[in-house]
């Protein structure tokens, strides 16, 4: 039985008549998290985790018709039992478990297995079929412990202070930004771009313990030189301020992305699972069928097939193209 199928509108559950992270306008959408490649405007109704409500409204409209549930709180869509489970990708991010007539499928959404201390830790949910992401589905991708990367960033920041430079960490406003704030907020002057400031406020309304940090707009001239700025871009930074910039992403594993591009430095810090994380998550589900969606789908499904899983790339999967990598959140 195909409990979930891949349609052009998105992942569809016919028995319950709903879509997961639909790409086109549909009547019932279950949203794993508020990143723009998963949450789009135009759905007649939204179901998401309680910690995603305000941030979804911030991004898609304050009157968005959104209902929320906590983790492990089943709801019924027709005869289908649906529940959300932590994916560890960012606060409120969910995997979707779907059960009908004894058959269980789980769609992972984006996930990471490392505990970042802010998001609820990834849960391996038992199922028959697991639809897994594979953004970093190659053996070269292996993350260091978060604390180690945090120390690398701290040393870089301290060195920049010695030279009187501001330090800018480029980070998208939902997920990576709050993770960096959680890691570094008590190590000196940390200030954020207004978009991140607003995202933090929305997350706090939903009960996420994002530490208080200042908006960049409040920094005094002498503070810039010591500050760590977390921002999606350099907008709002006075021209008189000299700064050093860095990217934080799993893609920084690849030297061609570290050495080339828009920043002076690169730190390997990802909100997705690395290769060992993908394999441990897949093993943890106990699933015999694995559908690999998004990223290095062919490589990962071939590996799993060799190891005895019934694995395949998702139909219409978006295999990662080199030119797309830098635009993909990592």
Task: Kindly list the distances between the CA atom of residue 122 and the CA atoms of 53, 94, 150, 179, in Å, as whole numbers in the listed order.
Answer: 20, 9, 21, 15
**Residue whose CB is less far from Zn ion, 110 or 123:** 110
Nearer to Zn ion, 166 or 171 (CB): 171
Residue 14 C-beta: closest distance to Zn ion, Å: 24
Decide whether 99 or 110 has the Cβ nearer to Zn ion. 110
- Give the nearer residue to Zn ion in terms of CB position, either 134 or 149: 134
54 binds Zn ion (CB under 5 A): no
Cβ-based neighbours of 145, under 8 Å, separated by 6 or more: 114
Beta-bridged to residue 86, according to DSSP, are 94
Measured from the CB atom, the residue of 150 and 330 that comes closer to Zn ion is: 330
Rule CB under 5 A: which of 88-127 touch Zn ion? 110
Nearer to Zn ion, 160 or 178 (CB): 178
Q: Which CB sits closer to Zn ion, 37 or 152?
A: 37
* Residue 35 found at the interface with Zn ion (CB under 5 A): yes
- In the complex, what is the shortest distance from the CB of residue 94 to Zn ion, in angstroms, rounded to a whole number? 11
**Residue window 252-271: x/- pattern of binding to Zn ion, with contact defined by CB under 5 A:** --------------------
Which of 192, 168, 156, 172 minimizes the C-alpha distance to 330?
A: 172
Q: Angle at the Cα of 318 (from 292 to 119), degrees rounded to 5?
A: 65
**Binding segment toward Zn ion, per CB under 5 A, in 28-36, 75-83, 276-284, 304-312:** 28-36
Among 37, 198, 264, 319, indicate the residue that binds Zn ion (CB under 5 A). Answer: 37
Query: Which window, 37-45, 63-71, 76-84, 119-127, contacts Zn ion (CB under 5 A)?
Result: 37-45
Compute how many residues bind Zn ion; rule: CB under 5 A. 3
Nearest distance, CB of residue 67 and Zn ion, angstroms: 21
Structure tokens belonging to residue 283: 């093993």
Q: How far is the CB of 110 from Zn ion (least distance, A)?
A: 4
Taking CB under 5 A as the binding criterion, the range among 30-38, 56-64, 119-127, 203-211 that sits at the site for Zn ion is: 30-38
CB of 37 to Zn ion, least distance (A): 5
The structure tokens 């701290």 sit at 154
Binding site for Zn ion (CB under 5 A): 35, 37, 110
């Amino acid at each position: 039985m195909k409990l979930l199928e891949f349609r052009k509108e998105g992942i569809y559950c016919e028995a319950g008549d709903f879509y997961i992270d639909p790409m086109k306008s549909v009547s019932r959408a279950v949203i794993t998290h508020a990143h723009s490649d998963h949450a789009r405007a135009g759905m007649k109704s939204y179901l998401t985790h309680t910690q995603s409500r305000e941030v979804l409204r911030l991004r898609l409209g304050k009157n968005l018709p959104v209902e929320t549930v906590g983790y492990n709180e089943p709801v019924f869509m027709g005869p289908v039992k649906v529940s959300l489970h932590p994916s560890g990708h960012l606060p409120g991010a969910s995997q979707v478990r779907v059960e009908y007539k004894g058959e269980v499928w789980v769609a992972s959404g984006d996930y990471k297995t490392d505990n970042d201390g802010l998001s609820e830790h990834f849960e391996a949910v038992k199922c028959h079929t697991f639809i897994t992401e594979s953004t970093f589905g190659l053996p070269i991708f292996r993350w260091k412990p978060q604390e180690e990367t945090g120390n690398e960033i701290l040393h870089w920041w301290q060195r920049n202070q010695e030279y009187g430079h501001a330090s800018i960490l480029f980070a998208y406003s939902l997920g990576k930004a709050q993770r960096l704030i959680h890691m570094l907020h008590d190590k000196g002057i940390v200030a954020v771009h207004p978009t991140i400031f607003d995202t933090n406020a929305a997350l706090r309304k939903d009960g996420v313990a994002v530490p208080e940090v200042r908006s960049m707009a409040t920094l005094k001239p002498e503070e810039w030189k010591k500050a760590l700025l977390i921002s999606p871009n350099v907008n709002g930074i006075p021209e008189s301020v000299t700064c050093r910039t860095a990217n934080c992403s799993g893609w920084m594993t690849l030297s061609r992305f570290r050495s080339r591009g828009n920043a002076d430095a690169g730190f390997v810090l990802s909100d997705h699972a690395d290769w060992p994380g993908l394999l441990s998550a897949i093993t943890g589900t106990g699933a015999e069928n694995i559908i690999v969606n998004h990223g290095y789908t062919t490589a990962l499904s071939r590996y799993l097939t060799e190891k005895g899983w019934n694995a395949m790339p998702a139909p219409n999967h978006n295999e990662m193209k080199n030119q797309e990598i830098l635009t993909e959140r990592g």
